[in-house]
Every structure is written in structure tokens, then in C-alpha cells.
């Protein structure tokens, strides 16, 4: 029994107007099944527009899936977004921002809320003096620390990090990654770490799922298995310097076959007609590729 | 608090805004203290003293019925400012409720209000007001109702747009994830972040309302004589334009200075809000 | 600094101060750079350290209220002496720009071909067929061979990686002598980043264009540039040949930068404590000393002059520590194809 079970969920959006002929359906999440155990970290990797963030929103309950179900067996979950400035209400001071989840969760006297908040701020490397300040008085790394403080205020059993370090510069990124690693080792919190940067994912994650056009195309139950990556797209992510890049129009949702076929060096006839299922390739390693499995 | 202080010091550094603010304060003060300041009863007719030039007894002269122009202007500002503030308050509160509901809840509530709004927006503002007044008959009360009916959709749409973009902002999403109830999200996250823009809309709306109330009174559709009002005074003095141009000048000046002041103030607030956005 | 006649672009002792309501922002505090013909200079630093401001100011593109001191020469002509029309002509022809976000750098209402046409025709007369020919040549050069159809497409129809290539092609179309790339890979996904890096390498090999590469990503810069300048709080703290700086970093900040990158391993990341100082009313002395692990009493009053340490390696630090473990960096930088835990 995992903490989070995602059972073949689907979510699609309609774009364009009813009146134009460009109306089409974008399958943002196209049949994803995943599970996550207690205090584990799942790394979700993929390029922008592959449906990572939609999956996060579905998990967080901010959107309802078209089909499928999500079972969450923990007490609460929270999120840290990429855009750290937009994540904080500019009209509220840090004390109110960080203590918001506590205040709405359990009615506590103001003094206890305040001391708890200050404790949280100190956990993420800020000081009690910062509590009275406003978001515009902080730098990017500090703002992301504030976001993390708010996210862990209820001691959630799941924390979703949606590109949480992607817009930070390297030295600050390292600080935040270290902070997250500390939080992970000192608490029972499970993490979903979403990023397009495989290096950051490798630092935190225990298991890795690679996403492409709304589907999981490769899954490693343990990060040590990444060395046996089979899917051509995963290999491209691991060794971006190898091979040439093909610019093909993005895969159309209506067409059949593997979504990556247009860009794949090894594509065969079957890749264009039948879409591959995620199959177990070896213990703890699943891959969705006609080439890789056989 | 720091926010307000910042806005205030910024406002003080802008000359046009400062002048406008002073003019508006003088007008409001005049309206409030009209009974104390007015030398005569604004509706007291004395035909023997008609069309006098400005003099110590009558600071701005008298009109064709011998009424004191200065006193009428003072009492007129009560009607003009009071009525236009009332229009503004009704307009903004109705559109705030509708705009926030439609923008935050979305779905069928949004559809109903916005399609209804589309119907109102399809008619030119002035024509719509004229038709409503035509149906209900002239009078201050009817003018006010007509103006609110003609305008709410406009403001509701603007506020809905602001709410819509805030609804998707990360801090609202984070609050939803934290389990903060919708009502509190509206109160603590949405409302404070649209308040400065709503203030701008309100200021500009007052200027607009002053202009229109006077305009309708001038056309004979609004406030009826003998009630002192700037538009009515303008209308009354029209026949004496060649012999006594001052009679028309004073109410005209009042209307334009009030409208220009409110608009300049609104513009300055807009500029300051824009600056804060870039902070 | 040697007065080499092959110097294409030179910034000498540039200061930029920006007066604001809260005080003066010391954006650039006396930097000196030079790029020779065919050379690639990488300017590394965190966001807000003055990288972009110094480049824009050096080209005379600063905002009106900036207070600028210093001298910049493009191809032996001093830029601040030029009249506005001369400046436009010289800069447009000799300098190509690549900006961070390809999505925002294009006019969404005109096709890619019209972008090329506009760029060419603002500097010389050219017929439509000539424009097409040179555009096609360049698209081939940036790895878009066989994609002539994109000339008739609108920017929104192209992906980010394609647009970034088109932007590079556009920057090259007037055969500039200097290419300035401001964070050319930051807005892109990892796979695309390495494609753009490859493209830069190819460009360097096949032409004698000089490139000024600005980024916060040391690895990216190190893989392309011949020379590296590390910038911190408006100062250049370290400067030298890439190989030298990467394998033998002397400034504590550079060391921190090199060690802080995650490399697909669970090994604890080295971090620089604290955060970059505000450039507002920046105090004298070394701006890094509060975050530095080897600071001493000389730091608060250090003049920040660059000192030569051999092999063209310059550093501005009061306590130069040459005992940096080179092997640690190399070991740390092990590529991820040998994933072993």
C-alpha cells in the first residue's frame, strides 16, 4: 500500500474556439499509472509541455481527471512552484504567508502560530526578523525558501516540487537542493520532484519516471537502474551531447503510434502504427518502446 | 501599511495629482459646509435683483430670477458630488460582487452574468441611459438607476478579468492546496490585490458620473428646477449667454474642474499602481 | 593588457551607476574585457551581478539616466564617440545579438522571412531572391537544412529550439564580427541546450567570428569559451584561459560556482552560504567576503584589483589560495554515463 496511487488517469484540454477549424484536443496526461511509497522521492523528468505540471495539478486536486483515480493515503500535501515570486501574495507579510495553512487547519492562539512560523523560517534558513517583511524585500532564493516553509508548515506527507529549482542560478539552486535533501532525510515526507534538469533530479530522487507527450515512457524504481536506460528519449536526456536533433512537428493527438516515432533514430514501421505499452523490462525497470523490450 | 504610505508619498510628488486632490477637497468641503458658507437661500426668488453683476452682497452675482449664484453653486455641488458618489458606490459594489463571483467561480455563473453583460454592452452607453430614463420618466432617482444599469456590465467585466488572472496565480493555488476556504481566498488573496485597480476605476467613475448627471440635467431629464444643480444652472443661463456670459461660465467651470480633477487623480493612481507592479 | 591589433571588442575600466529613489545602484564597478578575432569569451555570474548591464552599456545601449564611465572600442572605434546614426550602422552591421527568450524576441505578426528581410534591408539594398538565398544559407548553417518552409511560417508555429536557431541565423545574417549571446540556453530544455552548445562550437570552428557568451551556467561556458571572466557584484573577480580557470580556480567564488552544480549523484552539494549582496549602495572592499570561507582582515578594504598569477590568469582576492584540489573538481565532474551508487 503506497502513499499515493495513480490509476491510469487521463486529462485533456480543448484549445481554439468552437468556430475555427483549428479546434483540437490536447491530451496533457494520457493514461498515467504511478505509485509512490512513504518518504520516497519520485523524480518526474520531461521537456516543457510533456504534461508534468498537469500531472502535478491532478495529484494536488487542483484539476479533476477525465478518467482514472488518484488515491492518497497521507494526511496532507503541499506544493512549491517554479515562479517563486508569483507564489506569494504581495500584500501579505511573511508571517501571514507562512502561517496560512496552520491558521486554517487548526485554530491556535496567535502567539503559538507565530512561534511555530518562526521555527519554520529557521528550519529553511531564514530568521525571525524576516517574519514582518514583505515578499518584494527578498531575493529569489530566499523567496523559494519562504515557499518551502509554507509548504512544510503542516508537516505534509507529500510535497510536490514543480520545477522548484529551475529558475534559480547554480549556487542558489545548490542551496535549495541541499535544503530539500535535509528536509527529506529529517522527516517522513515523500516528494514528487518535477524537473527538466536530470542532474537535479538525480540528486534528490529515489525513483525516476520519464514523461513524454503525456505518457510515462520509462520508469526506474531505483535510481541505480538509470544506467540501463532503454528508451531512445531517455538516452537523449541522459546524453544530450550525442546524436543529432530532429525537428519534427509535435505528435498529433489523433494519430496512432508512438509519440516519439517522428524524432526517433530507431523508428520502425510498427512505431508509427501501434503505440507501445509500458512493460516490465527487468526488475524495477519499465519501458514503453517496441525496440527496447524485444 | 507600508504600501499605503508609499502610494501617498508618490501621490504627493505629482503636481497635477496634488492640485486635483486639493480641488476635490475644496469641493467636498464646500458641499458639506454649504449651509454655513452660503450667503443666501439658493432657491429664494427676488425678481427685482435679477441678473446682478458680482458684488460684495452676491459674490458671483445673481441669475435671471435673482437667486444668488454662489449659494446655488455650493448647494449644487452637494447634489452633483453626492449623486455621482452614489452612482459610483452602486456601480462598483454591484460589479465587484458580480465580477468576483463570475471570475472566481467560473462555469455557468460566469456564463449567465457575462452574456447578460454582453447584452447591456451591445448598446451605446448614452443611448441605453436615455431609453431607460425615457421609460421611467425624468428625475434624479431614475437617472441614477439608469446610469447604474448602463454601466455595471462594463466594470464587472474589467473586475472579472483581474480576478481571472489572479485565480490562476500560484499563491491562490497554494492557498487552495492548503485548504483555505474560497471565501477567505477571496477576502485575503483576491480582494487586496485588486483593490488599487478598483480604486482607480472608482475615481474615474466619479468624474464620468458628474459629467453625465450634469448633462442629463442640462437636457431636462435629470434634476428638475428649482433644485440647484450645475447642469440645471447651465441650462437656465443658456438664454442669457450673450448678455451675461458669466452666468454660464461659473457652473461650466465647476463641472469641468471637478471632472478633470477626478480624472487626473485616477491617472496618477494608475501610474503609481503600475510602478508598484514593477517593484 | 596587450595591445593586440586583432582585438575586436574591448571594454576598459567600465563603471555604471544607476541612480534610483533608494540610492545608487553600483551595477558595474570597473570591468576590463577584451575579445580578439575568432575568440570566444565567456562571462559567468549570477543573475543581477551586472553581466547584461555591462554589455548593453559597453555598446552604448544603456538607459538615459545611467551614469557611465569608461571606454569601449569596437573594432578600434570608440563607441561612445559615435553619433546615433553611426552607432546604429556600426552596431547593426558588426554586432549580432542573441537574447535569452526566443519567444519574446520575434514579432508574432510577421513571418520568419520578413524578419530576415527587415534585418538585411535596414543595412543594405537586397532583392527578395538575395534575401531568400542568404537566409537559406544561414538556416543550413544553424542546422535547419531542409526546413525552408519555416521561412513562410510565423514565430508561434515554431518550437523554442527552432526559434533559438532562427535567432542565431538572424544575428549572423549581416556577417557581424562580434556575436553577443545573452543567456542563449537558459530558457530552453536540457536536450535543446546541448544542441545550441553544439551549434556554437560548430560556429566557432567554421568561422572567425568573435563571441561574447553570457551565462550563469559555468559548465556551458566552459565547454565553448576560450577565455572566462567570472563576475560578481559588478566586479570581475577572476579572468583567464578556460582550461586554467576551470582546473585551477583561484577565487573562492569561482571554486564555489564550480562545485555547486548537481551532477546526477547523491554526493552532498557544495554551496556558497548566503546570497549575493544588493548592488544598492554597495560598500567598498571585496563584496564576497561575508560569504567567503577563506576571508581575512584585509577583505573589507581590498581594492578589487586583478592580480596576474601566471598563464594569463588574473584574480582579485586578498588571500590567493593556490592549493585547490584539481582532482576533486574532475572527480566531481564525472559524467553520468557511469552511474554507480
How close does chain C come to A287, measured CA to CA in Å? 19
Q: Which of B170, B175, B180 sits opposite A86 (nearest CB)?
A: B170
* CB pair distance less than 8 Å for A79 and B2: no
Q: Which residue has the cell 527578498?
A: A138
* C-alpha cell at position A211: 514523461
C-alpha cell at A277: 505499452
A31 phi and psi angles, rounded to 5 deg: 75, 65
Region C39-51: mean pLDDT is 89
Instruction: Please compute the mean of the pLDDT values over residues B47-75 and round it to a whole number.
Output: 81
Buried b / exposed e along C75-85 (16+ C-beta atoms within 10 A) = eeeebeebeee
Phi, psi of C278 (to 5 degrees): -75, 135
Q: Which residue of C has its CA nearest to A208?
A: C264
Mean predicted confidence (pLDDT) in A63-71: 92
pTM: 0.85
- CA dihedral angle for residue C211, residue C215, residue C220, residue C221, rounded to 10 degrees: 50
What nine digits make up the cell of A175? 542551496
Residue A157: C-alpha distances to residues A4, B40, B217, C253 (Å): 10, 77, 67, 37
Instruction: Specify burial of residue C38 (Cβ count, 10 A radius: 0-12, 13-18, 19+).
Output: middle
Q: Which residues of A touch C47 (CB under 8 A)?
A: 140, 169
d(CA A147, CA A94) in angstroms, rounded, equals 10
Of C93, C79, C87, C153, the C-alpha closest to C122 is C93
pLDDT digits (tens, 9 = 90+) for A101-132: 999 888 889 999 999 999 999 999 999 999 99
Q: Residue holding cell 467651470?
A: B253
Closest chain A residue to the Cα of C219, Cα to Cα: A170
Q: Is the pLDDT of residue B51 over 80?
A: no
Highest mean pLDDT among A210-224, A236-250, B126-140, C54-68: A210-224
- Running DSSP on this structure, what letter comes out for residue A252? P
Which residues from C are below 8 Å from A223, CB to CB?
339, 341
CB of B175 less than 8 A from some CB of A: yes
Alpha helices in B106-139 (DSSP H): 107-121, 125-136
CA distance B128 to chain A (A): 30
The span from the CA of A1 to the CA of A33, in Å, is: 15
Per-residue model confidence (pLDDT) at position C323: 65
Q: Name the percent of chain A in helix, strand, coil, to the closest 5.
A: 35, 25, 40
Q: Computed from CA positions of residues A185, A189, A190, A196, in that sequence, does the dihedral angle turn out positive or negative? A: negative
Bridge partners of C167, per DSSP, are none
Q: Does B278 touch chain A (CB under 8 A)?
A: no
Q: How far is A23 from chain B (nearest CA, A)?
A: 20
Q: Taking CB atoms and an 8 Å cut-off, how many pairs form between chains A and C?
A: 112
Cα–Cα dist B63/B244, whole Å: 9
Is the Cβ pair A240, C190 closer than 8 Å? yes
Query: A174-178, B165-169, C113-117, C282-286 — which is least confidently predicted?
Result: C282-286
| Residue of A174, A222, A249 to mutate when probing chain C, most C C-beta within 10 A | A174
Mean per-residue pLDDT, B240-265 = 89
- Distance between CA B69 and CA B51 in Å, rounded? 10
Is the CB of A171 less than 8 angstroms away from the CB of C272?
yes
Point out the residue among B169, B178, B279 whose CB comes nearest to the CB of A100.
B178
Mean pLDDT, rounded, of chain C:
84
* Nearest in space to A194 (alpha carbons), one of A100, A30, A58, A97: A58
Least reliable range by pLDDT among A167-171, B5-9, B176-180, C74-78: B5-9
Question: Hey, of C190, C237, C258, C278, which one would you mutate to test binding to chain A, going by the most A CBs within 10 A of its CB?
Answer: C190
Contact across the interface for B171 and A60, Cβ inside 8 Å: no
Identify which of C160, C262, C270 has the shortest CB distance to residue A202: C262
pLDDT at residue C329, as a whole number = 47
Nearest to C216 among A170, A200, A224 (CB): A170
**With a cut of 0.90, is the ipTM above it?**
no
Mapped onto helix, strand or coil, the DSSP state of residue A53 is helix
Omega prior to B226 cis, within 30 of 0: yes
The per-residue pLDDT for range A223-261, each reduced to its tens digit, is 888 888 888 888 888 887 776 666 555 545 556 778 887
Across the A:B interface, residue pairs with CB atoms under 8 Å apart total 57
Does B189 contact A at CB distance below 8 Å? yes
Give the closest-approach CA distance of C187 to chain A in angstroms: 9
Among B residues 207-236, those touching chain A with beta carbons less than 8 Å apart: none
Across the interface, of A47, A139, A175, the residue whose CB is closest to C191 is A47
The maximal CA–CA distance of chain A, rounded, in angstroms, is 68
* Position C2 confidence tier, pLDDT thresholds 50, 70, 90: very low
A251 secondary structure, DSSP code:
P
Does A137 contact chain C (CB < 8 Å)? Answer: no
> What's the rounded mean pLDDT across residues C212-224?
90
Report yes or no: C334 at the A interface, CB cutoff 8 Å. Answer: no
For A125-156, how does the pLDDT look when each residue is reduced to its tens digit (9 = 90+)?
A: 999 999 999 998 888 889 999 999 999 999 99
Residues of A in contact with C268 (CB under 8 A): 178, 181
A174 closest CB neighbour out of C271, C338, C339: C271
pLDDT tens, C130-167? 888 888 888 888 877 777 788 888 888 887 778 888 89
Across chain A, the runs of DSSP E, i.e. the strands, are 4-15, 24-36, 41-45, 67-72, 77-80, 158-162, 190-195, 207-212, 215-220, 279-282, 285-287
Q: Give the Cα separation of C248 and C183 in Å (integer).
A: 25
Nearest to B193 among A91, A100, A101 (CB): A91
Q: What is the pLDDT of residue B202?
A: 92
CA distance A291 to A258: 11
Residue B180 burial (C-beta neighbours within 10 Å; 0-12, 13-18, 19+): buried
Q: Which helix (H) or strand (E) holds C73?
A: strand C67-74
Partner-chain contact B173 A62, CB within 8 Å? yes
Q: What is the pLDDT of residue C324?
A: 62
Question: Is C146 touching A (CB cutoff 8 A)?
Answer: no
pLDDT band at C240; cut points 50, 70, 90 = very high
Cell of A235: 538516452
| Closest in A169, A177, A240 to C262, CB measured | A177
pLDDT(B279) > 70: no
The Cα C10–Cα C179 span in angstroms is: 14
Share above pLDDT 90 across residues of chain A, in percent, rounded to a whole number: 48
Nearest Cβ partner of B179 from A88, A104, A151? A104
- Which chain A residue has the Cα nearest residue C272? A171
Name, in order, each residue with C-beta under 8 angstroms of B127's C-beta and a sequence gap of 6 or more. Answer: none
Among A33, A103, C148, A176, residue whose Cα is nearest residue B185:
A103
pLDDT of res. C333? 42
CA distance B222 to B233: 12
**Chain A residues with CB-CB distance to C193 below 8 A:** 240
Confidence of residue A43 (pLDDT cuts 50, 70, 90): very high
Mean pLDDT in residue range C302-312: 86
**Cα–Cα distance measured from residue B150 to residue C165, given in angstroms and rounded to the nearest whole number:** 52
Residue B214's contacts (CB-CB under 8 Å, 6 or more residues apart) are B80, B222, B229, B230, B231, B234, B251, B255
The closest of A274, A292, A291, A288 to A209, measured between CA atoms, is A288
Do residues B98 and B120 lie in contact, with contact meaning Cβ atoms separated by under 8 Å? no
- Label residue C237 exposed, middle or buried (CB < 10 Å: 0-12, 13-18, 19+): buried
Confidence tier at C93 by pLDDT (50, 70, 90) = confident
Chain C contact probe: residue of A48, A245, A250 with most C CBs at under 10 A: A245
pLDDT of residue A246: 60
Query: Between vectors from CA A206 to CA A203 and to CA A211, what angle results, nearest 5°?
Result: 90
Angle at B138 between CA B133 and CA B142, to 5 degrees: 60
What angle is formed at CA A161 by the lines to CA A155 and CA A165, rounded to 5 degrees? 120
C10-22 average pLDDT score: 88
Distance, CA of C235 to CA of C30 (rounded, Å): 7
pLDDT of B264 > 80? The answer is yes
C touches which chains (3+ CB pairs under 8 A)? A
Q: DSSP characters for C88-105?
A: HHHHHHHEEEE-S-TTTS
pLDDT digits (tens, 9 = 90+) for B31-44: 888 888 878 888 87
Share of chain B above pLDDT 70, in %: 96
pLDDT surpassing 50 at residue C340: no
Check B170 against A81: CB less than 8 A apart: yes
Which residues, including other chains, have CB under 8 Å from residue C185's CB and lie 6 or more apart? C192, C193, C196, C197, C215, C217, C220
pLDDT > 90: percent of chain B = 31
Helices then strands, counting H and E runs in chain A, come out as 9, 11
Amino acid at each position: 500500500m503506497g502513499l499515493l496511487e495513480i490509476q491510469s488517469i487521463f486529462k485533456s484540454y480543448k484549445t481554439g474556439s468552437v468556430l475555427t477549424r483549428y479546434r483540437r484536443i490536447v491530451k496533457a496526461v494520457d493514461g498515467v499509472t504511478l505509485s509512490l511509497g512513504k518518504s520516497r522521492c519520485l523524480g518526474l523528468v520531461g521537456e516543457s509541455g510533456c504534461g508534468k505540471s498537469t500531472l502535478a495539478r491532478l495529484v494536488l486536486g487542483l484539476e479533476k481527471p477525465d478518467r482514472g483515480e488518484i488515491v492518497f493515503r497521507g494526511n496532507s500535501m503541499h506544493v512549491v512552484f517554479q515562479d517563486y515570486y508569483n507564489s506569494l501574495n504581495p500584500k501579505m507579510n511573511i508571517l501571514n504567508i507562512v502561517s496560512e495553512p496552520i491558521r486554517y487547519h487548526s485554530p491556535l492562539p496567535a502567539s503559538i502560530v507565530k512561534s511555530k512560523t518562526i521555527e519554520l523560517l529557521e528550519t529553511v534558513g531564514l530568521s525571525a526578523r524576516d517574519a514582518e517583511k514583505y515578499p518584494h524585500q527578498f531575493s529569489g532564493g530566499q523567496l523559494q525558501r519562504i515557499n518551502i516553509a509554507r509548504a512544510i508548515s503542516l508537516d505534509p506527507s507529500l510535497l510536490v516540487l514543480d520545477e522548484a529549482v529551475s529558475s534559480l542560478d547554480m549556487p542558489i539552486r545548490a542551496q535549495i537542493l541541499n535544503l530539500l535533501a535535509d528536509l527529506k532525510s529529517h522527516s517522513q515526507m515523500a516528494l514528487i520532484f518535477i524537473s527538466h534538469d536530470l542532474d537535479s533530479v538525480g540528486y534528490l530522487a529515489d525513483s525516476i519516471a520519464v514523461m513524454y507527450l503525456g505518457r510515462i515512457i520509462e520508469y526506474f524504481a531505483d535510481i541505480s537502474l538509470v544506467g540501463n536506460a532503454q528508451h531512445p528519449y531517455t538516452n537523449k536526456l541522459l546524453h544530450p551531447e550525442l546524436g543529432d536533433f530532429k525537428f519534427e512537428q509535435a505528435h498529433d493527438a489523433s494519430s496512432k503510434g508512438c509519440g516519439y516515432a517522428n524524432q526517433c533514430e530507431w523508428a520502425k514501421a510498427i512505431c508509427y502504427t501501434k503505440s507501445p505499452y509500458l512493460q516490465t523490462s527487468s526488475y524495477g525497470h519499465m519501458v514503453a518502446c517496441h525496440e527496447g523490450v524485444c | 501599511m507600508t504600501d499605503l504610505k508609499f502610494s501617498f508619498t508618490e501621490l504627493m510628488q505629482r503636481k497635477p495629482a496634488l492640485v486635483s486632490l486639493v480641488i476635490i477637497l475644496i469641493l467636498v468641503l464646500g458641499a458639506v459646509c454649504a449651509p454655513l458658507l452660503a450667503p443666501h437661500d439658493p432657491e429664494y426668488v427676488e425678481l427685482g435683483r435679477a441678473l446682478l453683476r458680482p458684488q460684495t452682497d452676491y459674490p458671483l452675482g445673481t441669475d435671471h430670477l435673482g437667486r444668488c449664484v454662489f449659494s446655488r453653486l455650493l448647494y449644487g455641488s452637494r447634489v452633483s458630488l453626492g449623486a455621482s458618489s452614489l452612482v459610483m458606490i452602486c456601480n462598483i459594489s454591484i460589479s465587484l460582487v458580480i465580477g468576483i463571483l463570475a471570475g472566481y467561480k467560473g462555469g455557468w455563473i460566469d456564463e449567465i452574468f457575462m452574456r447578460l453583460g454582453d447584452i447591456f454592452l451591445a448598446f451605446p452607453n448614452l443611448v441605453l441611459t436615455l431609453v431607460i430614463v425615457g421609460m421611467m420618466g425624468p428625475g434624479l432617482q431614475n437617472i441614477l438607476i439608469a446610469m447604474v444599469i448602463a454601466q455595471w456590465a462594463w466594470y464587472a467585466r474589467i473586475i472579472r478579468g483581474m480576478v481571472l488572472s489572479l485565480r490562476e496565480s500560484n499563491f491562490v493555488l497554494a492557498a487552495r492546496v492548503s485548504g483555505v476556504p474560497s471565501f477567505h481566498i477571496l477576502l485575503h488573496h483576491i480582494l487586496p490585490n485588486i483593490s488599487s485597480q478598483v480604486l482607480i476605476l472608482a475615481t474615474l467613475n466619479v468624474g464620468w458620473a458628474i459629467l453625465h448627471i450634469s448633462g442629463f440635467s442640462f437636457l431636462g431629464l435629470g434634476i428638475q428646477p428649482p433644485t440647484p444643480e450645475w447642469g440645471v444652472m447651465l441650462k437656465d443661463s443658456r438664454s442669457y449667454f450673450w448678455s451675461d456670459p458669466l452666468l454660464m461660465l461659473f457652473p461650466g467651470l465647476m463641472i469641468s474642474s471637478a471632472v478633470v480633477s477626478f480624472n487626473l487623480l485616477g491617472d496618477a493612481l494608475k501610474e503609481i499602481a503600475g510602478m508598484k507592479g514593477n517593484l | 593588457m596587450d595591445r593586440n591589433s586583432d582585438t575586436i571588442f574591448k571594454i576598459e575600466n567600465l563603471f555604471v551607476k544607476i541612480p534610483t529613489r533608494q540610492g545608487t545602484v553600483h551595477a558595474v564597478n570597473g570591468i576590463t574585457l577584451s575579445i580578439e578575432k575568432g575568440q570566444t569569451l565567456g562571462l559567468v555570474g549570477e543573475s543581477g551581478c551586472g553581466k547584461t548591464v555591462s554589455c548593453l552599456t559597453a555598446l552604448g545601449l544603456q538607459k538615459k539616466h545611467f551614469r557611465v564611465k569608461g571606454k569601449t572600442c569596437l573594432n578600434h572605434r570608440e563607441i561612445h564617440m559615435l553619433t546615433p546614426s553611426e552607432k546604429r550602422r556600426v552596431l547593426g552591421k558588426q554586432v549580432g545579438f542573441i537574447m535569452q527568450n526566443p519567444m519574446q524576441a520575434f514579432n508574432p505578426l510577421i513571418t520568419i522571412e520578413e524578419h530576415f528581410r527587415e534585418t538585411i534591408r535596414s543595412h543594405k539594398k537586397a532583392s527578395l531572391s538575395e534575401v531568400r538565398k542568404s537566409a537559406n544559407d544561414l538556416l543550413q548553417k544553424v542546422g535547419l537544412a531542409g526546413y525552408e518552409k519555416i521561412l513562410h511560417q510565423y514565430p508561434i508555429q515554431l518550437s523554442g529550439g527552432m526559434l533559438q536557431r532562427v535567432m542565431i541565423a538572424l544575428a549572423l545574417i549581416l556577417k557581424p564580427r562580434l556575436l553577443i549571446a545573452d543567456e542563449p540556453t537558459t530558457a530552453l530544455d536540457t536536450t535543446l541546450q546541448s544542441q545550441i552548445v553544439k551549434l556554437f562550437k560548430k560556429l566557432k570552428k567554421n568561422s572567425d567570428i568573435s563571441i561574447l557568451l553570457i551565462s550563469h551556467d559555468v559548465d556551458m561556458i566552459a565547454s565553448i569559451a576560450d577565455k572566462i571572466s567570472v563576475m560578481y557584484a559588478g566586479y570581475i573577480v577572476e579572468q583567464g584561459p578556460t582550461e586554467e580557470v576551470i582546473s585551477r580556480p583561484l577565487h573562492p567564488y569561482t571554486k564555489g560556482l564550480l562545485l555547486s552544480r548537481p551532477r546526477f549523484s547523491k554526493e552532498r552539494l557544495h554551496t556558497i552560504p548566503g546570497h549575493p549582496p544588493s548592488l544598492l549602495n554597495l560598500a567598498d572592499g571585496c563584496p564576497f567576503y561575508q560569504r567567503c570561507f577563506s576571508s581575512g582582515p584585509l577583505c573589507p578594504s581590498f581594492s578589487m584589483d586583478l592580480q596576474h598569477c601566471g598563464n594569463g590568469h588574473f584574480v582579485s582576492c586578498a588571500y590567493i589560495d593556490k592549493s585547490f584540489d584539481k582532482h576533486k573538481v574532475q572527480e566531481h565532474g564525472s559524467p553520468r554515463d557511469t552511474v554507480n551508487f
